[in-house]
Structure 1
């Protein structure tokens, strides 16, 4: 293959940008990494903001053109300072044994590779392998060698069946998608859920809404970041008929989850319009290829079921390629075996309007622009078909979030009043949270966000906050509580946490000798606000109301 070079590509105002800066990426509608050889593209991964197939293809091959000097530089370095390559002898194949394996296994393998059901196909192959080993090597001396030859022969027959006979393992045409069934609201107590089944691949996906505090906090090289949208992809062993220990997320789980997350994040509503944190979890219940794309489809439906106003539905499809000499076959919605025996795994995620994420891995020297263009167009047709099937389950987001999801209300206050809501050591906000069973978040601008399961409690909490943070109005009459008595007057609480002074001269229309002749601690009294000075001190009067009477 020779040297490989790669670069990141962005797309700003109709222009492709190689290795964009962080600031440029913020404005870019494309963020892809592409790796190339001198002759072809070998790897693509990234996301776009609903760009068309032609725009994505243009970005990929813009990188191909721009990295050629880097490849030439490597070739020059190799020519001037490179060392001779080590000679590695290919494994020696016993041709007589191979011919014997092919003769014994051919009829059985043809049946195996024509069996559509994955588990049945696997059982037939295991039985055939035991039969071939027993017939050729009854003494058990070359069992491993025979098994390897049989595996290689199976791959050859499968590829030949697809390329020469134009026939897939399960009998579908090259551009045909497996049967799809969709259900939403499958789990009644979740905020949103869906069950997406495509052939023998099935994903149970849930969507959960949370508050700002539920965002994922991640430490990066650039500092701490908060992720409002999280997607977790789980691939338990039983989904492929295995029994083994469950451990943490694998490299595969992380990669598939990231691809799905990129594809769905492009259609999320703006945070100011929908301030919830969103977590999508995909549990793969059965897998025969394209489980990450089932996660995308199920995730889109679960979010709509949860009432998340996504811009439009998203689907995904996995494409495959088999190349024998000049014969090229592009397969839509590949099976697991088609992935293993093929030369390319190309996953495309998008809406009706364009692509939102993609990933391509090449097992051969590379693919040309023509082949990739054909694959993208075939993927688009499959993606649109899947969106039509998904619409039978749910076509758009529900009008409101689930009754089980937290309700969200906002209220703005004077930033100077934030301390009144927080209280000493957080006392007030903790008491409010406990009393109204709510999460309360206050930012520095004075914006208060309230999350609670009970909408009635949320409205009552807003009224309480208004009461606590109310601004005193000059000339307004308040009913207050006498908090303390001094020789010179009485301090009256007219709002929660807000006291004013009724001077002894403002207690009555007649002269008052002692404050306690008129008021005592604990009394309720009507007072009028006369003034608020520049230090926030409030002057009250009882006499002004008596004069009015």
Structure 2
């Protein structure tokens, strides 16, 4: 009936929802445990018990005798840096006194025991921290058990970033930058086992540089801790991020911890929420997080709100709860005890909610809602839907057309298999130009609409004009000019730009155009009752060519030329 670990994310659930989830899960957990115990009974082996650090009792007594009073004094120093500096000096003094010969000749009491001395001192500090909480109702920094450390928030601290925020809670500080990208910027995650490819459009990456805790070490790739903290903060915010249909951007948050004294992952969630709003991303609500601790001795326990790093180290629990003002979005429990009951954890969840609302109050005073506009440095993205049959037209042979659009406009274009075209650019004119180009490639000629086209071919009976990319129509010679003309060349020539009106699209999809009707609509000539469709005069019998006579003519020509069979063989 005890819980030892919880990890999960949600789109936003209440305390009652969480209660029901735990209630539903427990019977299944018991069933699984019964199966495991049955398996252990059949094939199990004795567990290997790890050996405790070898600290001799006489060394532990020596450290306690020399340091206990000083430890009690330092643990009641509320400033972290001053307290840590005093503990470092105490540790150095103990190491020198217990492990180093005073004069180079007299043997040290415990030579080569620097590690055990450090472990004994750490254990002494931990016991006193726990005793303070249980017996004195006192925390290291002097706060009450339900008190949140002072909070300050700033947004727009990085002027060139698309969005940024600085969140400080006590001596824990996170600076977070938000960057908006296109679909091409999605993170590709390869699943080796399932052999599938997953793409992520929302990411939060967490970085914990060593200077944040006063250390000096090599800067390498992210550790397991960094990955885990970033994953938790990402889950906390994912529930409020708009869908791709509503906001077709790839979103990346990067949190750098500038200073750390407990719960930097929750600081990252808070800073990330502020940065999203600063970037103008239409999130559903603000999100904050709170880390809860526990110190338990027998039946006595203390739940600690907004734990310090030392309280996490010496305590029994690190319980992180994130969410909006009224809903939980992520939860994670790390426990050093064999397990705790759900009523105790639920008490911690309620206290975390109260503390989270206090944090949100401060955050909302800084920025209460997403900015109405995106940063001027962020790309603008629009999506249009085209017929799937027209995808090839937009791409062009070997990608020729889409490359041309990208090169000439500077915009980025992505096309999905369902016909969704996403166009991105940080310049409005480039965005409009690329959109118009794509729409023209897939557009159909609309009867009654006037287009500006280019003359592509001249025939005796009229001119062909391209009104859309790859889409031509015929202007009959009778519709080329307001007056009667003898030849097409008298009105237009190849390459001319002319305004034409679509007057008909026949059953075969052929487009008939009228330049004269376009001139009327543009006010260049007076309007007429003519519909602009070229009318051929009805044929008369005398006008129809006599096919028999034609054959006679061809036959006479054949006789004049002689039959192929009668020609003499070639030599």
User: How many equivalent residue pairs?
Assistant: 510
Q: Distance in 2 between matches of 1:150 and 1:383?
A: 35
Structure 2 distance, partners of 1:170, 1:45, is: 29
Q: Does the Cα contact within 8 Å between 1:40 and 1:368 map onto a contact in 2?
A: yes
Q: Distance in 1 between matches of 2:48 and 2:447?
A: 91
8 Å contact 2:248–2:383 — kept in the other structure? no
Corresponding residue SS for 1:372: helix
Q: What displacement does 1:278 show?
A: 1.0
2:96 corresponds, among 134, 140, 162, to 134
Q: Deviations over 1:500-547 (max 9, x none)?
A: 2346787688795x7556653234555554543455333446688899
Structure 1 contact 420–497 (Cα < 8 Å) conserved: no
Kept after mapping to 1: 8 A contact 2:288/2:356: yes
CA offsets 1:451-508 (integer angstroms, 9 cap, x no match): 2222344334444444444422345555543223356654322333322234678768
| Corresponding residue of 2:145 | 174
Correspondence for 1:318: 291
Q: What residue is the counterpart of 1:282 in the other structure?
A: 255
- Which one has the largest radius of gyration? 2
1:149 is matched with 120
Deviations 1:244-298 (A, max 9, x none): 1111111011100110000100111222222221111101111111000000000
Per-residue CA deviation, residues 55-93 of structure 1 (Å, 9 max, x unaligned), is 213323432222212222332333344344567776665
User: 1:180, 1:206 → 2: CA distance?
Assistant: 19
Question: Which stretch of the first structure deviates more once superposed, 531-540 or 127-136?
Answer: 531-540
Name the SS of the counterpart of 2:158 in structure 1.
coil
Match of 2:86 in 1: 124
1:104 CA displacement: 0.6
Match of 1:105 in 2: 67
1:421 corresponds to: 394
Q: Deviations over 1:82-122 (max 9, x none)?
A: 34456777666533332221111012211222223333222
1: CA distance between counterparts of 2:75 and 2:87? 9
Aligned partners of 1:45 and 1:500: how far apart in 2? 65
Q: Is the 2:55–2:116 contact (alpha carbons within 8 Å) kept by the matching residues of 1?
A: no
1:164 corresponds, among 102, 115, 135, to 135
Preserved CA contact (<8 Å) 1:321 1:343 = yes
**Secondary structure of the residue that 1:67 maps to in structure 2?**
helix
- What is aligned with 2:276? 303
Unaligned runs of 5+ in 2: 102-107, 520-527, 533-571
CA, structure 1 residues 78+473, in 2 after alignment: closer, same or farther (shift >3 Å)?
A: closer
- Are the counterparts in 2 of residues 40 and 64 from structure 1 also a CA contact under 8 Å? no
- Do the aligned residues in 1 keep the contact of 2:13 with 2:327 (CA within 8 Å)? yes
TM-score normalised by length of structure 1? 0.85
Deviates more, 1:322-331 or 1:88-97: 88-97
How big is the shift at 1:225? 1.9
For 1:480-495, list aligned pairs within 5 A: 480-486=453-459, 490-495=463-468
Quote the residue 1:51 is aligned against: 13
What is the RMSD of the two structures over their aligned residues, measured on CA atoms? 2.8
Q: TM-score, normalised by structure 2?
A: 0.82
Query: 2:268 matched to 1:292?
Result: no
**C-alpha distance in 1, partners of 2:513/2:261?**
78
Deviation at 1:426, TM superposition (A): 2.9
Q: What is the CA distance between 1:419 and its match in structure 2?
A: 4.0
SS in 2 for 1:42: coil
Q: For structure 1, which runs of at least 5 residues remain unmatched after alignment? A: 1-38
Higher strand share: 1
Distance 1:248 1:487, change over 3 A: same
